[in-house]
Amino acid sequence: MNNSRRRQYSLKEDLSSLRAFILITFWLSSPIWFGLLRALPPKFSVQLVGARGLDAPPLSTAFNVTLRAANRRLHDVCYRHGEAAVRYSGFAVPRGRTRAFCVGRKEARDVPVVAWADGLGVPRPLRERVAADARAGAVELEVEVRLFRGDDGSARPTLLSCKVTAGGAKPPGVTPCAVFALQNWASDIAPAWMQYF
């Protein structure tokens, strides 16, 4: 009977030590967590504002796209310029550029992008497919954007890939972009309330 009491006491003591170890480890690593959360990458989304020229050969297309950048960092983020391409089935239809812009800390900003192409020579099967999709009411496009930082001297661009739909009965909504750049892995798992420290 005395041995069983000793085992129970030992288990409680071990659990208490484990809990203390976890709390001390979390407390000591909290500056690292806060540092990671302060370096959260901006989130991007796009909205197709207008599109014309998808259904008549040769393609003379123009797209008005609004790029939305939401800065989750505690300092401003600036881009010196960017390049945009609208693709249909992997084929670049029009191209355009973004202007230089900055996004303040914990702010969001809309950046207009105009991409165009005049008299674009598109292979006939692809042109027929675009025209058929346009008549059906929805042409699925991919907007690819490369943004170049202007505030950190980095030569690496931030690459964005966004899906949009042109045409259709309802106006196109805002679609999030996949961001391909050096990112903080914690941005995908951190709860929203931790991202505002």
What pLDDT score was predicted for residue 197? 33
Residue 68's pLDDT is 94
Burial of 103 (0-12, 13-18, 19+ CB in 10 A): buried
What pLDDT, on the 0 to 100 scale, is given for residue 161?
Answer: 92
Phi, psi dihedrals of residue 15, rounded to the nearest 5° = -65, -40
pLDDT at 103: 92
The DSSP output letter for 187 is G
pLDDT beneath 50, residues of the chain: 1, 183-197
Which H or E run contains 38? helix 2-38
List the one residue out of 120, 175, 167 whose CA is nearest residue 143.
Answer: 175
- The CA radius of gyration of the chain, in Å to the nearest whole number, is 25
> pLDDT value at position 192?
46
